[in-house]
Amino acid sequence: MEVTRRKLLQGMGFLAGAIVLRNLAGPEQALAAVEDFPGYPERFGMLTDTTMCVGCRWCEVACAQANSMPPPAALSDKSVFNKMRRPSAEALTVVNRYTDPADTKRTVFRKMQCMHCNEPACVLQRARLRLCLPGGCAGED
Ligand code: SF4
């Protein structure tokens, strides 16, 4: 079969059109996938008014006990507020203290915790890292 310039351009035009059509149709497919997604009907959500936090850190204690983790620093130890903490493999719940920028005499506490994701990227990422770099993941237990 002789390939002429005209046939080549026609072919490329057809190919380009097919790609555009597929991308145009993509969102519907994505929507169909979402509509088919069963979600997690057995899971519960929890709504917490964090503006009411008084920084008692009992949630840190309860979280450590519930997850059989080492207890956090003593509740009387206010030095934990000297540096900003983030949830980690050692502490899934942490409370930080901030000064209200609008009123520097006012202290604000903010609880940060594991969000109990349905598909936790951190665990998936760790598993993937474990596969790739045995024992290489920073902060692994
Ligand atoms: S969120 Fe934690 S630190 Fe804040 S009030 Fe509740 S238990 Fe205390």
Q: Tell me: the pLDDT tens digits for 76-96?
A: 999 999 999 999 888 999 999
Helix ranges restricted to H, 37-76:
58-66
Question: Whose alpha carbon is nearest atom 5 of ligand 1?
Answer: 53
Structure tokens at 24: 């145009």
Q: How confident is the model at residue 23 (pLDDT cuts 50, 70, 90)?
A: low
Spatial distance between the Cα atoms of 89 and 52, rounded to a whole number of angstroms: 26
Q: Is the pLDDT of residue 17 over 80?
A: no
Ligand 1 contact, 59 CB (< 6 A): yes
Dihedrals φ, ψ of 64, to 5°?
-65, -40
Domain ranges of the chain: 48-141
Question: Whose alpha carbon is nearest atom 1 of ligand 1?
Answer: 53
Q: Is the pLDDT of residue 138 over 60?
A: no
- Report the predicted TM-score, pTM, of the whole model to 2 decimal places: 0.59
Contact by Cβ (8 Å): 90, 72: no
Contact by Cβ (8 Å): 95, 109: yes
